Amino acid sequence: MSESTSKLRLGALTALVVGSMIGGGIFSLPQNMAAGAAAGATLIGWAITAVGMLMLAFVFQTLANRKPDLNNGVYAYAKAGFGNYLGFSSAWGYWISAWIGNVSYLVLLFGTLGYFFPVFGEGNTPVAIICASILLWLVHGLVLRGIKEAAFINLITTVAKIVPLITFIALVGAAFKMDIFNADFWGYGNPDLGSVMTQVKSMMLVTVWVFIGIEGASVYSARAERRSDVGKATVLGFIGVLALLVMVNVLSLGVMNQPELAALKNPSMAHVLAHVVGPWGAAFISIGLVISLAGALLSWTLLCGEILHSAATDKTMPAFLQKENKNGAPANALWVSNAAIQAFLVITLFSSSSYLDLLYLATSMILMPYFFSTVYAVMIAVRSEGYTAKDSGQRYKDLLIGLIAVVYSVWLLYAAGAKYLLLSALLYAPGALLYIKARRENQQPVFTNLEKVYLAVAVVGAVWAAIGLYTGSLTL
């Protein structure tokens, strides 16, 4: 694979971060947040999220700089800190999160097109699934042409989808009324919302979903032209997306009250803008959402292939996933990823699972990889790995950042709740079969004694979830 086809610059890396984070979530944010929280709790939730996710961004920046020999982000950090099996599990969970997210993007994309063409319905009609499948394999073909070419197109779509967001912020900001924003500020007039803490907890998985992709540059660290650009892209992408998300959410609360926003259909941004400027606003945002979802689909297709390919390259995944085509694209990894997406697209014809159910499940799958990365950052700061004697001040700063990120990661696991953690176990456990195959291919011992404990926990959780789904006590 030549340098010209593999190396990504700061702009492309930042676009991968922004493009991965800005998908469909921001276009549904006003309703998603208002469904569980009033304005006061929303501000508290964003404050927690801003601090927690900023610390997570700093963690990825620190790890990129202090561990330049570890490529491909969340997977490599888990492996270095906790061994082969948890490293594999981190790659497996991240991959599942990525392609489940792509299924939801395709469903939402054609559901949005249903605004213009009723034959697509809510995105899960036969015609919608056929068209979604065609789009899926068109993107597949594009990525097979080469990572750098796909990343360039991703840069263009990232710029294109920011335009409607900026327009929304300007128009809704001009119509913002403080008396609407302050009305029932803590949600006491709506007992269904619960306490302020309950409201904050209810919005946490939504905030995590809209920030998934913050690690996008880390996943591509091996393909970066300059290693230092990985950390810069992570922080720049985070700050830009945070500003967009907060403004979209908060400004909406100043033009429609919480009950009105909670009752909107998604994409709720379209209806908020229509409330301000008339029907053309809904059409404008819907077009923006289609562009955004197409760009996010490309970003996450890139990431799906890269995480499997990277894990196979260092022999954690089976060897067949390592194969690249003549353009340097991870061909077999892409075929496996998109085949899984295709299978789930067909399942959506018969499933009652909602768009948000898919998002919550995808989010819960990525929480453990985030947790492993934050703990590893603390570990290297405590051990002074990658630090010189002159770096003592920075080491203590990184240790504090890492500890805050660990606390935030634990909070997210708590906010996810038992339901989605159990469903995650159901998806994590079968991955052990691929891990066993990879270890045997390389004639290595399969599990250490401690890893057998990890596997047992995953299997128990999976069995518990399966029983719950069978009896109806657990539903997706």
Distance separating alpha carbons of residues 336 and 92, to the nearest angstrom: 13
CA nearest to 299, candidates 139, 118, 77, 67 = 139
* Domain-located, residue 453: yes
Complete DSSP assignment for 107-130: HHHHHHHTTT-GGGTTTTSHHHHH
Q: Which amino acid is at 414?
A: Y
CA separation (Å) from 40 to 34, 181, 251, 258?
11, 9, 13, 11
* Domain-located, residue 467: yes
**Quick check: 131 pLDDT over 90?**
yes
What CATH number is associated with residue 12? 1.20.1740.10
Output the pLDDT for position 2: 42
Distance separating alpha carbons of residues 248 and 250, to the nearest angstrom: 6
265: DSSP letter: P
How does the average pLDDT of the chain come out, rounded? 85
pLDDT band at 319 (very low <50, low <70, confident <90, very high): very high
* Domain-located, residue 476: no
Complete DSSP assignment for 288-343: HHHHHHHHHHHHHHHHHHHHHHHHHHTTSS-GGGG---TTS--HHHHHHHHHHHHH
pLDDT band at 464 (very low <50, low <70, confident <90, very high): very high
Output the pLDDT for position 4: 42
Query: Which residues does 256 contact at the CB level (< 8 Å), separation at least 6?
Result: 30, 180, 264, 272, 275
* Domain-located, residue 411: yes
pLDDT band at 291 (very low <50, low <70, confident <90, very high): confident
26 lies in which domain range? 3-471
* Domain-located, residue 236: yes
Q: Quote the tokens at residue 191.
A: 């007992």
Rg from Cα positions in the chain? 22
Please return the burial class of 343, using the count of CB atoms within 10 Å of its CB with bins 0-12, 13-18 and 19+.
exposed
CA nearest to 6, candidates 159, 151, 140, 138 = 151
Output the pLDDT for position 386: 82
**Quick check: 354 pLDDT over 70?**
no
Per-residue pLDDT of 37-77, as tens digits, reads 999 999 999 999 889 988 988 898 888 878 878 766 677 88
Output the pLDDT for position 247: 95
- What global pTM score does this model have? 0.81
Q: Which amino acid is at 136?
A: L
Output the pLDDT for position 147: 59
Report which secondary-structure segment, H or E, holds 381: helix 355-383
- Whether the bond into 267 is cis, omega within 30 of 0: yes
Per-residue pLDDT of 261-285, as tens digits, reads 999 987 889 999 999 999 999 889 9
Output the pLDDT for position 108: 82
Output the pLDDT for position 230: 75
Distance separating alpha carbons of residues 228 and 225, to the nearest angstrom: 9
Among 81-90, 206-215, 416-425, 439-448, the minimum mean pLDDT is found in: 206-215
Query: Which residues does 448 contact at the CB level (< 8 Å), separation at least 6?
Result: 83, 85
Is residue 172 within 8 A of residue 244, CB to CB? The reply is no
Mean pLDDT value of segment 283-295: 83
Number of domains in the chain: 1
CA nearest to 108, candidates 391, 416, 353, 402 = 353
The sign of the torsion formed by the CA atoms of 101, 106, 110, 112 equals positive
* Domain-located, residue 150: yes
Residues 277-313: b if buried by 16+ CB within 10 A, e if exposed: beeebbebbbbbbbbbbbbbbbbbbbbbbbbbbbbbb
CA 310 to chain centre: 18
Is residue 156 within 8 A of residue 225, CB to CB? The reply is no
224: DSSP letter: B
Is residue 315 within 8 A of residue 442, CB to CB? The reply is yes
Among 4-8, 21-25, 286-290, 306-310, the minimum mean pLDDT is found in: 4-8
Q: Which amino acid is at 102?
A: N
**Quick check: 387 pLDDT over 90?**
no
Percent of the chain with pLDDT over 90: 33
Measured torsion, CA atoms of residues 259, 260, 262, 266, in degrees rounded to the nearest 10: 180
> Which of 13-22, 226-235, 316-325 ranks highest by mean pLDDT?
316-325
The sign of the torsion formed by the CA atoms of 314, 316, 317, 319 equals positive
Output the pLDDT for position 441: 93
CA nearest to 226, candidates 395, 11, 394, 62 = 11
Is residue 292 within 8 A of residue 23, CB to CB? The reply is yes
Higher pLDDT, 411 or 401: 401
Mean pLDDT value of segment 117-126: 84
Mean pLDDT value of segment 452-464: 92
